[in-house]
Chain A
Amino acid sequence: MKKIFEAPKSLKENLFHYCPGCGHSIIHRLVAEVIDELGIQERTIGVPPAGCAVLAYNYFDVDTGEAPHGRALAVATGLKRVLKDHVVFTYQGDGDIAAIGTAESIHAANRGEKVTAIFVNNGTYGMTGGQMAPTTLPGMGSTTTPGGRDVVRDGQPLDLTQMLGQAKGSVFLERVSVATPKHIRRAKKAIKKAFQVQLDGLGFALVEVLSPCPTNWKMDPVAAYEWTDKEMTKIFPLGVIKDITGYDKD
């Protein structure tokens, strides 16, 4: 019988610790499939974050090195500068990449570090229990914005990917989502392209993935996916934010 579906080789056979319906599980799978398809498992090094994906090394079957909260792109810089022929990717939440690690992110992009960043935007600090993130939507509740995010008090959501577009060393930036099967397919394409940019040595590439956190949003998974699709995209519209790769547009 012909096998038409199997687990990616770049994922270990461990059960995910993520909550039911969490976007991290899908995004892990997409990244692993891309690593398989590009045939780079043996020369890829992952840098997991602090955040719900802190245990990513339990799942990705590639060499991984832990970074302090927010510093993944600095750690990745050090790795990649030594291992020029290897593939280095970071996997970071919005708190990690867009709050504590803002400076590291902007400067890695600006230097054009030849690394790939996967930025999981779930609008909340999942791991620490649902506090406000820089990406929390206006009016959205969190444990530190009990009445909802008040933009006068708490500021507007930060669009880091747009900011990174200003950095001269960024080459490919796209915002995708895992809210529907169609979006998931699109997300995989973007992730693959972001790795290809690195393989071709073009510069910094990042894919922002809008991802539901049913647990902290206090929604059932179906509602959380709908909310990702309808509400998050109002503030964080999907699409290519920057592409100076020169690749054929698809």
Chain B
Amino acid sequence: MPKQLMRGSHVLGEAAVRAGCRYYFGYPITPQNEVPEYMSGRLIQVGGTFVQAESELASINMVIGAAMAGARVMTTSSSPGISLMQEGLSYLAGLELPAVIANVVRGGPGLGNIAPAQSDYFQATRGGGHGDYRTIVLAPASCQELCDLTIKAFDLADKYRNPVMIMGDGMMGQMMEPVEFPEPIDPADLPVKDWTLTGAKGRPSRVILSLLLAPKVLEDHNFKLVRKYDAVVRNETDWEEYMLEDARQVVVAYGTAARIAKGAIKRVREMGLKVGLLRPKTLWPFPEKPLKELSRVVRQLLVFEMSAGQMVEDVKMAVEGQAQVHLYGRPGGVIPTPDEVAHQISHYYYQAGLMDRDQQGERLGGAA
């Protein structure tokens, strides 16, 4: 299939439709309005249903209903809207319902601003809503990956009967890149779900519930969820490695920050610094294992994120004190440039004395 030049938010919508999503419920919030706008038109073409809900609360609960009925269903929003959806996310997890939720993250807290940010990392990866549960969180870094991961999100949601979140930001929503879309899936060809509410015709009636009053019954349910999450960690953890072979310092960054970091790494590589990147593609499950292994050979990690420092906690937990972990965090509001990140990289690099002898000489003014 030929590549198409497309805006990120439209890529998200188109990929969802191709994944067999025929139901979209949402409420406008910048910077993701292009998604509902795209879906409203596109779903008509394929005989799907678009409802502009009265709030994010209503949106996520409509998603719950459509998921109960067995449909592939999506909602999208941005930070304050995702906050309102947290109760619904907890229910989706408790009810074991598959759904895809995209967060086009903006700067917070509160109304904040509409600049790209990554400050909803805790909310996304810690569960966000109440109770012991996990949301699978995918973090694309290009329009092509946004397409691929959106399709994967629907598959993962169905496979694990769990909500899957796509973490993007306004930058990804607005940027235009060539994308190759896969052939569309016909929802009728998707595997039949054997647990949905479709009326008790020819079978006993079914119940989808999360109210489990008997203590042991709830604990059993929660342990079942734990086993499911363990399987997700084993099977679905995903990340990209970039220039890690000879790296002495590793930058850890995801999404838009990872793209900026790549630019920065190219610059410092030209100066001879041996720096690589580990880019989590799944934020939960977090790529703990590769980071732990890296920390055996690399002494220094620099976490770059567009937040005051959230993912850095996961990195620290992963390396368990085996390597230094520094943070370059820029809370929502401003997009750092590759030069700024390159400056941070070289600062920590030199400070830790990671440079070669001749570089050391250069730093000392060529006196060696």
Contact = CB atoms under 8 A, between A and B. Distances in A.
A45 interface: yes
Interface string A50-64: 000011010011111
Contacts of B271: none
Interface in A23-59: 41-45, 47, 54-55, 57
B270 to A, nearest CB: 53
B54 A63 contact: no
Contact of B87 (A60, A68, A76): A68
Interface stretch (A79-87, A141-149, A192-200): A79-87
Contact of B64 (A64, A75, A81, A103): A75
B66 A63 contact: no
In which size bucket is the chain A interface?
35 or more
Contacts of A45: 68-69, 197-199
A83 B73 CA distance: 14
A65 interface: yes
A86 B71 CA distance: 15
Interface in B67-91: 67-71, 73, 87-88, 91
A79 B197 contact: yes
A214 B64 CA distance: 34
B198 A83 contact: yes
B200 A81 contact: no
Contact of A63 (B62, B64, B197): B197
Interface in A181-197: none
B51 A86 contact: no
Interface stretch (B208-216, B294-302, B321-329): B208-216
A201 interface: no
Interface string B194-238: 000111111001111111000000000000000000000000000
Contact of B62 (A55, A60, A81): A81
Interface string B21-51: 0010100000000000000000000000101
Contacts of B49: 81-82
Contacts of A75: 61-62, 64-65, 68
B70 A71 contact: no
A99 interface: no
Contact of A66 (B62, B63, B95): B95
A76 B61 CA distance: 9
Contacts of B308: none
Nearest to A62: B205
B58 A104 contact: yes
A206 to B, nearest CB: 17
Nearest to A50: B211
A100 B61 CA distance: 14
Contacts of B68: 45, 65, 75, 78-79
A76 B200 CA distance: 17
A67 interface: yes
Nearest to A104: B58
Given A65-B65, A81-B62, A74 B57 contact: yes
Contacts of B57: 71, 74, 103-104
B234 to A, nearest CB: 30
Nearest to B69: A82
Contacts of B51: 77, 81, 111
Given A42-B201, A43-B201, A71-B61, A78 B69 contact: yes
The interface size bin for chain B is 35 or more
B55 interface: yes
Contacts of B53: 74, 107
Contacts of A81: 23, 49, 51, 62, 65-66
Nearest to B99: A78
Given A76-B65, A79-B69, A81-B66, A44 B199 contact: yes
A103 B55 contact: yes
A106 B57 CA distance: 14
Instruction: Specify which of B54, B88, B205 lies most central, judged by the most chain A CB atoms within 10 Å of its CB.
Output: B205
A78 B64 contact: yes
A124 to B, nearest CB: 21
Contacts of B205: 60-64
Q: Which of B49, B70, B200 has the largest count of A CB atoms less than 10 A from its CB? A: B200
Contacts of B208: 64-66
A66 B211 CA distance: 8
B311 to A, nearest CB: 30
Nearest to B64: A75
Contacts of B54: 103-104, 106-107
Contacts of B87: 68
Contacts of A64: 197, 205-209
A74 B197 contact: no
A-B complex: 3 closest residue pairs judged by Cβ atoms: A78-B65, A74-B61, A82-B69
Given A63-B198, A68-B91, A78-B25, 12 more contacts: A42-B202, A43-B199, A47-B65, A55-B211, A63-B197, A63-B206, A65-B95, A65-B208, A66-B207, A67-B65, A74-B57, A75-B61
Interface of A: 41-45, 47, 54-55, 57, 60-68, 71, 74-83, 86, 103-104, 106-107, 111
